[in-house]
A and B are shown apart, each in its own frame.
Chain A
């Protein structure tokens, strides 16, 4: 197929990507939007395969079949709680693909080493660099999310200095690679290696509660990497689609940062490193049994559930919904308060509740619930920790100070469902547990809720 036709088809697919993304913006049209975007991808792949440049299909076919199988199997198997890890891994594979494409572009016809224009060389370096950082950064994010690595901030002494050094070396190697054609070979290897190292260094110091920011940032990087690869091989569809994803990722990153009252640079360069400085919380904890919890809930006329990642881990979302329905049948007004960064990626909690068929209209955003939290009889905190921590409001020394939270401590009664007194993902103490109106319901969230439900049914 000649280049004009291929270019024309690329324009159509770009329009489909844009339209698909637009439709992903509303729950009613999202499924269709995703479908449109996937068809666009299929068309782009097919038309590229028909290009005159493609003379050998063997390796393409093998790699495609293998990639499809692995992608499909993992997508089918993954649990909804494991979604952030999955997205991190997919991000990483997109990143490494862009790195490899950039690398392969060095062998373009008419070019070979040294025959390429400086502009192309720069874009090749960029696609390798961004792709490499995305790849190892995503792997570290994945390891942290799946708790193969400690979830805390893993900074070591001199960390920032080392990162700067690596960055400086990267710049030097890149410049040499672009201006001295004879050095391209060894410099490519150096740039690849250094960008992989930089990816690790960039994500290692970011810990705990900042993970949703990192995931969306890496998502943005994977788009930018594809975009840079597009420049390297002069391909418009890569540039358009990559830039769309890059911009989308930045927007989401920004939303996450605002939700946590943190600046992007703060997340990137300091992370959750402040420890020990926070005021030590002490006080008396008031445990409660499921029987007593039932009595209070039965008398309540408004109940707010505050789900967190702990709920998802305990697979308690179904019992939560069941309890919600029983409370409603009992005449109480039930809602679910969703903190924007509850869970481990943006909007994660909504997906988990959707999995349990929690009705849409009962999900309430943080600001709306905080406006009427004082009139709520019972707030049930299920596996959430940091997003309800009053220290964010009151303790200026706390690492999460300034983060907007759901003010459950203003509710008439608070139940906190917890296994033990351990702190949350960010490792910060929680004064909520010692509050006057707080009752701790210790044990596995699922089992605790099930016994409350049993009381309701008897």
Chain B
């Protein structure tokens, strides 16, 4: 039963992903990609479960390293996306040169 139910979730999410992205203008492809990349850091949830659930020392280690890498992905991904997007926004109020 679990398998079927998770499979349904998967199928619906994939269709949703296609729908969401297919109409995005090419201007936004890079920020979109890095934003989506940050979301793939969701694996941090699994990493936390592995690191904190006391499944034995080896699993804890694996989990902790996974938390580290996933966190780099999440924090870095969101911050860099925000940096890019703020550039797109900036130009309608102040056309000042930065460097």
The residues of A with any CB-CB pair to B shorter than 8 Å are 17-18, 20-22, 24-27, 30-31, 33-35, 37-38, 41, 44-45, 48-49, 51, 53-57, 59-60, 62-64, 66-68, 70-72, 74-76, 78, 80, 83, 86-87, 90-91, 93-94, 96-98, 100-101, 103-109, 119, 215-216, 219, 222-223, 225-227, 229-252, 255, 315, 318, 338, 340, 345-348, 350-351, 354-360, 363, 365
Contacts and interface: CB of A to CB of B under 8 A. Distances in A.
B9 A94 contact: no
Given A24-B31, A87-B30, 16 more contacts: A25-B25, A26-B28, A44-B44, A59-B61, A66-B68, A71-B71, A91-B40, A94-B69, A97-B66, A98-B43, A106-B59, A219-B36, A235-B46, A238-B46, A338-B26, A346-B30
Nearest to A21: B20
A64, A80, A83, A105, most chain B CB atoms within 10 A = A64
Contacts of A22: 20
Contacts of A348: 30
B29 A25 contact: no
B48 A354 contact: no
19 contacts: A17-B42, A24-B31, A25-B24, A25-B32, A44-B44, A45-B45, A60-B63, A62-B64, A64-B67, A90-B72, A90-B80, A94-B37, A97-B66, A100-B65, A226-B43, A244-B39, A345-B30, A354-B91, A355-B87
Contacts of B92: 360
A97 B70 contact: yes
A76 B79 contact: yes
Determine chain A's interface SS by DSSP, over half rule.
helix
Determine chain B's interface SS by DSSP, over half rule.
helix
Contacts of B96: 357
Contacts of B56: 107
A67 B37 contact: no
B84 A346 contact: no
A245 B72 CA distance: 17
Contacts of B40: 91, 94, 219, 222-223, 225-226, 241-242, 245
Contacts of B48: 45, 48-49, 54, 60
A103 B51 CA distance: 12
Interface of B: 2-3, 6, 9-10, 13-18, 20-56, 58-92, 95-99
A245 B17 CA distance: 7
Contact of A45 (B34, B44, B86): B44
Nearest to A347: B29
Contact of B6 (A54, A75, A239, A245): A239
Given A71-B72, A83-B80, A350-B26, A41 B20 contact: no
Contacts of B74: 41, 67, 71
A206 B35 CA distance: 25
B79 to A, nearest CB: 4
A87 B84 contact: no
Contacts of A75: 75-77, 79-80, 83
Nearest to A212: B29
A354 B87 contact: yes
A62, A67, A76, A219, most chain B CB atoms within 10 A = A67
A315 B80 CA distance: 19
A243 B88 contact: no
Nearest to A247: B17
B91 to A, nearest CB: 5
Nearest to A66: B68
A26 B32 CA distance: 10
Contacts of A340: 26
B75 A56 contact: no
Nearest to B48: A48
Contact of A251 (B17, B25, B27, B79): B17
Contact of B42 (A80, A226, A360): A226
Contacts of A55: 52-54
Contacts of B89: 27, 31
Contacts of B97: 318, 356-357
A94 B85 CA distance: 22
